[in-house]
């Protein structure tokens, strides 16, 4: 039995007469073509959206936008790769009508029309809304760290600058001492010559002046870091390490899992991004009430309260940062509140009754306590103070109730 054989490479092949026959009715490039055809590129702010009557004719920004969107959907983002695909990819040949712009033209198009391309993303979202592809009831918010071009060596914080200034001071002091020894001995020793030492000292002094300038900029400005390559990137924790990255926030609607809103930020954590992203989603959907789900990295009392005041219900797990958990003791999550009796019940079934009100940190506090609990079998796992009582406090806030177990 032989193998499956292919055709002879010299065999004549009769291709279809038109490119239209290569593209099926369900192909995504047809959707790209129709969507971009309906856009008003001049209103969106695209450069050369209106062709001039004289001079060399440019590429239609609509065709370059089709090329850009196709590359985005197929993870082909390099300008040189897009140039290559335009000459061999049948789908792309159909989409841009066999145009083959060079990589420099593609790169300049993305650079000159960055704000307009962002508006196209918003137009696509509104287009999906008109087609009723969004449910408008439940959205999910999450963030991802995207590594920037900026390396960690070209990113500076106040702490890092202080350390580098100390190192430079040590280097300068070391070279000055070597220069003094050579002056006292009256003859050159092994190693750097006096001229080389003076040049080294001058270089370190220039670098020190630059570091001091950056340090003063950080102390006097609102920025906490300086990145020399990507000025807006920041050093942040990524997985088990630290990298200079961007924090990309994404809102997804539950109906068809479509991205509803996105924003590129340089915030190191997600704690301050809940209400801004949720309000943007609510504005796009045009709804008064909305359910929002996210992970514990977004937990922030002020952010949750801001969402609830805007008519949104937030589902976010509260991180357990209690020191009692690390010591193997029960935490506030182990105590159940019974509103009928206005008391808390501990894991052993004991009731912590209401005792008194007080004010801590400018907020009213309700205290619940239990006395005479020395016979409890769970005593070793509970946090009991010197007076032999368990105490749990409830911060009385308008929208959020935090429980603290001491």
pLDDT in tens, 208-223: 888 888 888 888 777 8
pLDDT value, residue 400: 34
Q: Of 45, 206, 176, which Cα lies nearest the Cα of 112?
A: 45
pLDDT in tens, 149-160: 898 889 998 889
What's the pLDDT band for 251 if we cut at 50, 70, 90? very high
pLDDT (average), residues 154-173: 88
C-alpha 325/C-alpha 317 separation (Å) is: 17
pLDDT value, residue 67: 95
In this structure, the strands spanning 343-345 and 336-338 are antiparallel
pLDDT value, residue 216: 87
The number of beta carbons lying within 10 Å of the beta carbon of residue 272 is 14
C-alpha 226/C-alpha 233 separation (Å) is: 8
- Name the CA radius of gyration of the chain, rounded: 32
Tell me what percent of the residues of the chain surpass a pLDDT of 70. Answer: 86
pLDDT value, residue 399: 31
Give the list of residues 6+ apart from residue 218 with CB closer than 8 angstroms, or none.
156, 157, 158, 161, 224, 225, 226
The DSSP string of 345-394 is E-TTS-EEEEEEEEEETTEEEEEEEEE--TT-TTGGGS---TTSEEEEEE
pLDDT value, residue 397: 40
For the chain, the average pLDDT equals 83
Token duo for residue 57: 């004719």
pLDDT value, residue 374: 58
- Helices 274-285 and 114-130 cross at an angle (nearest 10°) of 60
What's the pLDDT band for 402 if we cut at 50, 70, 90? very low
Beta pairing partners, 396: 401
Q: Of 350, 355, 338, 340, which Cα lies nearest the Cα of 382?
A: 350
pLDDT (average), residues 371-391: 52
Taking CA atoms, 106 is separated from 11, 34, 67, 349, 397, in Å, by 37, 21, 9, 70, 55
| Chain centroid to CA 138 | 21
C-alpha 308/C-alpha 399 separation (Å) is: 8
pLDDT of residue 61 exceeding 90, the answer is yes
Is the Cα torsion angle 193, 195, 197, 199 positive or negative in sign?
Answer: negative
pLDDT value, residue 93: 92
In this structure, the strands spanning 290-293 and 138-147 are parallel
Pair 81, 101: CB distance under 8 Å: no
What is the model's pTM? 0.71
Residue-wise burial string across 226-254, b where 16 or more C-beta atoms lie within 10 A, e elsewhere: bbeebeebbbbeeeeeebbbbbebebbbb
C-alpha 273/C-alpha 265 separation (Å) is: 9
């Amino acid at each position: 039995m032989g193998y499956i054989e292919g055709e002879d490479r010299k065999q004549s092949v009769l291709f279809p007469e038109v490119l239209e026959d290569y593209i099926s009715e369900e192909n995504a490039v047809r959707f790209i073509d129709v969507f971009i055809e309906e856009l008003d590129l001049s209103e969106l702010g695209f450069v050369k959206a209106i062709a001039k009557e004289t001079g060399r004719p440019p590429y239609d920004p609509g065709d370059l936008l089709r090329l850009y969107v196709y590359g985005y959907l197929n993870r082909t983002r390099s300008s040189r790769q897009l140039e290559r695909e335009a000459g061999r990819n049948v789908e792309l040949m159909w989409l841009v009508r066999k145009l083959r712009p060079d990589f420099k033209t593609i790169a300049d198009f993305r650079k000159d029309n960055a704000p307009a391309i962002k508006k196209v993303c918003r137009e696509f979202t509104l287009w999906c809304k008109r087609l009723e592809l969004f449910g408008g009831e439940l959205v999910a918010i999450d963030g991802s760290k995207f590594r920037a071009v900026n390396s960690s060596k070209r990113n500076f914080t106040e702490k890092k600058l202080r350390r580098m200034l100390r190192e430079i001071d040590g280097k300068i002091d070391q070279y000055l001492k070597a220069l003094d020894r050579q002056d006292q001995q009256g003859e050159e020793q092994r190693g750097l010559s006096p001229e080389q030492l003076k040049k080294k000292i001058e270089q370190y002094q220039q670098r020190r002046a630059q570091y001091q300038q950056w340090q003063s900029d950080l102390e006097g400005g609102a920025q906490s870091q300086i990145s020399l390559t990507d000025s807006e990137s920041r050093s942040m924790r990524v997985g088990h390490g630290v990298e200079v990255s961007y924090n990309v926030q994404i809102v997804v609607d539950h109906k068809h899992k479509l991205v509803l809103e996105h924003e590129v930020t340089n915030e190191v954590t997600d704690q301050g991004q809940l209400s801004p992203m949720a309000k943007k989603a609510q504005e796009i959907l045009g709804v008064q009430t909305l359910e929002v789900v996210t992970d514990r990295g977004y937990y922030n009392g002020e952010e949750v309260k801001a969402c609830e005041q805007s008519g949104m219900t937030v589902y976010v797990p509260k991180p357990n940062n209690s020191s009692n958990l690390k010591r193997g003791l029960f935490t506030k999550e182990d105590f159940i509140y019974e509103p009928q009796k206005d008391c808390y019940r501990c894991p052993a079934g004991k009731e912590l009754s209401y005792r008194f009100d007080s004010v801590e940190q400018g907020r009213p506090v309700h205290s619940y306590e239990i006395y005479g609990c020395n016979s409890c079998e769970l005593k070793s796992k509970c946090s009991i103070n010197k007076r032999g009582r368990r105490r749990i406090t409830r911060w009385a806030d308008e929208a959020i109730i935090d429980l603290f177990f001491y």
